[in-house]
Structure 1
Amino acid sequence: MMFSFNFKKLFKPGILIAIIFGLIFLNFLGVLDLLKGFFYKVTSFQKYIYQISVKIKDFISWISSTKKVYYENKNLKLENLKLKGEIAKLKEKELENIFLKKQLNIESKEKQKLIFAKVIGYRFQDLNRFILIDKGVLSGVKENMPVIIGGNILIGKTKKCFSHLCEVILIIDSSSKVNVMTQKSRVFALLKGDGEKLFLDLVSTKEKVYKNENVITSGLDSIFPKGLLVGKIKNIFSSKSRVFQKIEVSSPVCFSKLENVFVIIP
């Protein structure tokens, strides 16, 4: 009887058996332990690389989010500044409207014709005190017109006028002279400036005036109408050796901070 072998069928189990014996032999020699250690180290290194990559990714995400927050804050700050500017502008308009309303109420009572003007310049040199306003001849402003602020408070009179501008000499100027009277004691006097302060001149030592009483324009000249407030009596210097008293007047106006004024049209 003849036997035939199928080598193809025996080849695959043979390879498997050879691999098994080979692995047993390698294990006996300790090679498998080396391979295990190697693959363990490779796996640990991969884990380390993975952890680093995750941290780098998180760091990049943090930078991106920080950058986004920075630009958002920057835009918010710009918007905030813009809003502050708008609020300041509206507030300025509101103050200007209050200023106008206050003076227009007085105008309706006194039947005064007023021209509103903005102060656009100052000239404080030596004892001279001038301001420059943005209204001139084309607006109806001429020389020697009274200039006041809200509350009918006198600050000066127009001097040199041009087409769109006009100089105003303030009452504290050393050359300024205004006919006035004390409101309570009804004493007439001449108001003069020395560049900084105001004084009453030509008040006899026989006249009785009072501290803190109002000083108003008397209307005895052709420029200033009667009743404009100038200030209050601050100090009274009287001496028997003098013919006239020296009386200091305090104005409620800060002349170096004027912004808006009115010119009274006769």
Structure 2
Amino acid sequence: MKQTLLAITLALFSMTTQSQIFENTVYADLVYPGCIRAKNKARCMNNKLAQFYLQNLPKDYFEPMEQVDGKIYCYIGLNLLFDEDGNFVHTKGESASLDALDMANLTLPRMNMPKDVQNYGVSSSFRSVLRYELILDGDEVKNVFYRPLSSEEISDLMGGSELEITKVAVYPGCKGSDNSKLAQCLQQSIMDYIVENMDDRIANLPGVQESVLNIHIYLTVDPSGRPADVKVVNKHEKIREEVERVIKTLPEIEPAVGSDGSPVPLRLSFQLKYSIRYGGERH
């Protein structure tokens, strides 16, 4: 039965920068309940969030992404937004539809917020990466264990040390000077380009039985405006190769600009979700 790629939804999009791309947002030291007295509050928050997702996400959400020394891992990239009172608002870059991660996030406990942030009445963002080790039974996830990442590993997965920038990378056709709107345009343009240029025959590849394909993508817009350090994670090799092929044909992007006025690399990460129709009907 013929399968066709129907749609694409952005579930996660994050950029390695501390600039205020989203207005009235700061990267604050949020504190998870129970971590107030912890020496390393960020590590404590990571651990608490990791356990929270273990309890609130279905096992089939944890899709195999990487195999190292015989162990299978998956990663969850976080870019969570909280209001001035510490209540979860949304995941930056989320789509209009809620997936399992977004639904779980809606039940997150209230975070303890720094008083200076509360006084300004602005929202706060928490960004990190969580790693889980998987035990498989055939193709199904039988069990999931949290395996903490070091700060260096988190930094590497998020694109290295964070860079101060004054202007985000600009995709051809995106106009204006507002960083928030430029970032949204960059995000949408890359998504549209991938959708328009991928060969939809990949939905008919042997072994592709999912109704939704989860594809995790990491790439850097280098100082020359070209994609670099591209990493695509999906269990189907042909799908990984096709996504990499399309990304490498992206048009030249105007690079991000640092505080000294020079071009700087900008690391992007996002999750693509393809919905597949079977014989004209949603599976």
Common topology (TM > 0.5): no
TM-score range, shorter chain: under 0.3
- Higher share in helix: 1
